[in-house]
């Protein structure tokens, strides 16, 4: 039988991403036992303290093992963290070193949402693909520039490391892991029992573009402000760079370094973010929204919208506009 370790980090406030994996894998074990007369995993919660409190002591978790007692485990699940990422890393150094050692010895690791910060701090994500909550992506890129962050992806799978996007999307990662370690039939059974959509593969439709402004390049900050205020106009990146007394090639390089997007990609994301808000809060049709955000080519608008969000403008409106819901 394999061993599954669900970590309980110190000083954190996210309980659902500990309880959720525990319940789903226990249910997968029970189903697989009925079907094959054997279980896949022995499941244990482990940490470095005998008790970890959540939500100001309203709940607490009592890990079954101290991680230092675990010599071998096959799969480790790291739950999501609170928003004090640097404090979380400092408060869990023993766990971070333990993760590094076990990965080097062949253990596979899955991080949920912002649990990727602990995983990245161990160094095992260097040069690898990774996802985390879209709202934490800017902080993650700042702290771990050597990791290939893919904030639109719901799940990444590379070299025995699995990561996923934000919040309750960890349920999709759990179903993914159940299929990988059990089989497809067990994964489908669990998806039905817990009512988890197995078809989701992107978190981009849920993200809110926040501008990526945690940098100190004043010229690029001015360029970002200009693009956000004038997104409806026909804009020339060449003229924008010239107005800031920056050469075009240097401007493009600095813009990409500061924001992780080219100027054109940044402008597209501004337009799509405004379009999303219109679809959510108004009765405007797709063409009206398209013209409002500065597009005149319907195909180009649809293609860019789908590329950034993962779904079509019409599907987005039908899914998120409360004025149309139930009609």
Residue-range definition of the domain harbouring residue 52: 2-206
Do the beta carbons of residue 277 and residue 255 sit within 8 Å?
Answer: no
Q: Are residues 22 and 64 in the same domain?
A: yes
Q: Are residues 108 and 223 in the same domain?
A: no
Q: Are residues 47 and 125 in the same domain?
A: yes
Q: Are residues 92 and 157 in the same domain?
A: yes
Q: Mean pLDDT over all residues of the chain? A: 90
Q: How many domains does the chain have?
A: 2
pLDDT digits (tens, 9 = 90+) for 49-87: 999 999 888 999 999 999 999 999 999 999 999 888 889
Ranges of the chain with pLDDT below 70: 198-208, 322-327
Q: Are residues 22 and 171 in the same domain?
A: yes
pLDDT digits (tens, 9 = 90+) for 95-144: 999 999 999 999 999 999 999 999 999 999 999 999 998 889 889 999 99
Residue 5 zone, left/alpha/beta (φ > 0; ψ -120 to 50; rest):
beta
Q: Other C-beta atoms within 10 Å of 33: how many? A: 12
In a domain, 211, yes or no: no
Instruction: Quote the tokens at residue 165.
Output: 């996007």
Give the pLDDT of residue 207.
Answer: 65
The residues, any chain, with a CB within 8 Å of residue 55's CB and separated by 6 or more, are 13, 15
Beta bridge partners of 41: 2
> Up-side HSE of residue 319: CA atoms within 13 Å toward CB?
11
What does pTM read for this prediction? Answer: 0.70
The residues, any chain, with a CB within 8 Å of residue 255's CB and separated by 6 or more, are 220, 223, 261, 262, 263, 266
Give the pLDDT of residue 166.
Answer: 77
In a domain, 326, yes or no: no
Q: Are residues 99 and 47 in the same domain?
A: yes
Give the chain's count of helices (H) and strands (E): 14, 11
Q: Are residues 180 and 66 in the same domain?
A: yes
Give the pLDDT of residue 199.
Answer: 62
The CATH code of the domain that includes 132 is 3.40.50.880
Question: How many whole angstroms from its chain centre is CA 227?
Answer: 26
Q: Are residues 93 and 201 in the same domain?
A: yes
Residue 12's nearest CA partner among 48, 65, 64 is 48
Instruction: Quote the tokens at residue 253.
Output: 């390089």
Boundary of a domain, candidates 206, 228, 253 = 206
Give the pLDDT of residue 200.
Answer: 59
């Amino acid at each position: 039988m394999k061993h599954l370790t669900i970590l309980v980090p110190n000083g954190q406030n996210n309980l659902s991403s500990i309880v959720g994996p525990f319940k789903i894998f226990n249910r997968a074990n029970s189903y697989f036992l009925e079907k094959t007369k054997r279980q896949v995993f022995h499941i244990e919660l482990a940490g470095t303290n005998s008790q970890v409190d959540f939500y100001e002591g309203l709940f607490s978790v009592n890990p079954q093992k101290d991680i230092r007692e675990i010599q071998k485990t096959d799969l480790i699940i790291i739950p999501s963290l609170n928003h004090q990422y640097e404090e979380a890393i400092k408060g869990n150094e023993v766990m971070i070193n333990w993760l590094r050692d076990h990965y080097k010895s062949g253990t596979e690791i899955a991080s949920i949402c912002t649990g990727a910060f602990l995983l990245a701090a161990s160094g095992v994500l260097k040069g690898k693909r990774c996802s985390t909550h879209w709202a934490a992506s800017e902080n993650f890129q700042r702290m771990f520039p050597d990791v290939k962050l893919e904030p639109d992806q719901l799940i990444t799978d590379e070299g025995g490391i699995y990561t996923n996007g934000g919040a309750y999307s960890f349920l999709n990662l759990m179903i993914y892991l159940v299929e990988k370690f059990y089989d497809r039939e067990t994964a489908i059974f669990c998806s039905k029992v817990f009512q988890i959509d197995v078809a989701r593969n992107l978190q981009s439709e849920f993200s809110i573009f926040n501008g990526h402004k945690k940098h100190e390049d004043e010229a690029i900050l001015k360029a970002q402000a200009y693009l956000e205020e004038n997104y409806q106009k026909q804009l020339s990146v060449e003229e924008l760079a010239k107005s800031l007394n920056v050469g075009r090639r240097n401007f493009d390089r600095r813009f990409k370094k500061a924001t992780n997007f080219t100027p054109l990609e940044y402008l597209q994301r501004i337009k799509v973010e405004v379009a999303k808000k219109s679809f959510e809060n108004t009765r405007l049709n797709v063409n009206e929204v398209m013209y409002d955000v500065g597009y005149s080519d319907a195909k180009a608008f649809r293609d860019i919208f789908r590329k950034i969000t993962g779904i079509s403008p019409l599907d987005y409106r039908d899914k998120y506009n409360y004025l149309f819901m139930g009609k």
